[in-house]
Amino acid sequence: MIDRGRIGYTTPPSAVTIDAWRVQLFCRATGETDPSAWSPHAVVPPTFLKAMETEHYSSAALLTLLDVPLHGVLHAEQSFDHHAPVRIGDELQIERRIERIEDKKDGALTFITVDTNYRLAARLAARSRQVILVRNRLPST
Amino acid sequence: MTFPVRLTLRCGPVSAVDLALFAAASGDHNPLHLDAEVARSAGFERPVVHGMLTMAYAARLFTQSFGAARVRSLQTRFVGVALLGDTIELEATLQRTEAGDAHYALRAYTTAGTELAAGTAQVAAAMP
């Protein structure tokens, strides 16, 4: 049983700078061919912010905090809302919050909802939501 | 501004190199995506394609037509799992335009017919 006391846990915000190489590696890995993505102050691809979370506090680290083994965990949902363009060279303030932990199917499955805020100079530039699916009855290895 | 009614893209077959490159680019090093043994023990025949790679492919439906700056929102529910070697089909269908923005329904599936993701996207009428 995952500790419900962690609902509402918010990571201490940290600042992360978006380096060009990081965006270019992401574009190469995803086959991004939009030529503007390769310019020096390019707006980052719509799902790139997820990669920046790992520089702050990764979902794997959040699962460790919750004492959930990575084994058997799947990604159930993901969304991004972009309020202002985020570009190469920008410094983002990131914070993540555990919004919900809910059991389904008599506890066979647990859904963990994590919201992430990305701010540029104190202004909300984007927000994402990740729902992680934990399969509790998977045979252990 | 008129928006295309339908956008499509085919990606893959997803190779082991694609998964390794995406693990490095995304920071998601879960061995479920890289190690056949770990994938098997989690109940999958082959390493699992990162859901975020499928979603990044889906984002390309829009970036290739409109550029990244015009994508206001993107949402996906992962309903199935793509495996190493699968080819992924992406499809967006215009649902409506509202205040100049286009709202699309999204779908990702393998060429073998496994549904992978369903979702929505909102694209701004012009550069914000």
Q: Is the pTM of this model over 0.80?
A: yes
Which of B11, B21, B26 is the best mutation test for A, with the most CBs of A within 10 A?
A: B26
> For chain A, what are the domain ranges?
9-135
> How do residues A62-72 score in pLDDT, each as one tens digit?
999 999 998 88
User: CATH number of the domain at A9-135, out of 3.10.129.10, 3.40.720.10, 3.40.50.620, 3.30.1020.10?
Assistant: 3.10.129.10
The arithmetic mean of pLDDT across residues A41-64, rounded, is 95
Residue B2's pLDDT is: 86
Confidence of residue A121 (pLDDT cuts 50, 70, 90): very high
Q: What is the ipTM of this complex?
A: 0.95
Q: Which residue of chain A has the CA closest to B127?
A: A85
Domains present along chain B, CATH in parentheses: 6-15+50-123 (3.10.129.10)
Is the CB of B51 less than 8 angstroms away from the CB of A74? Answer: yes
pLDDT beneath 50, residues of chain B: none
B40/A contact by beta carbon, under 8 A: no
Percentage of chain A beyond pLDDT 90 is 86
Residue A39's pLDDT is: 84
Confidence of residue A51 (pLDDT cuts 50, 70, 90): very high
Q: What is the residue-wise DSSP string for chain A?
A: ---GGGTT-BPPPEEEE--HHHHHHHHHHHT---GGGGSTTPBPPTTTHHHHHHHH--HHHHHHHTT--STTEEEEEEEEEESS--BTT-EEEEEEEEEEEEEETTTTEEEEEEEEEEEETTEEEEEEEEEEEEETTSPP-
Is the CB of A30 less than 8 angstroms away from the CB of B60? Answer: yes
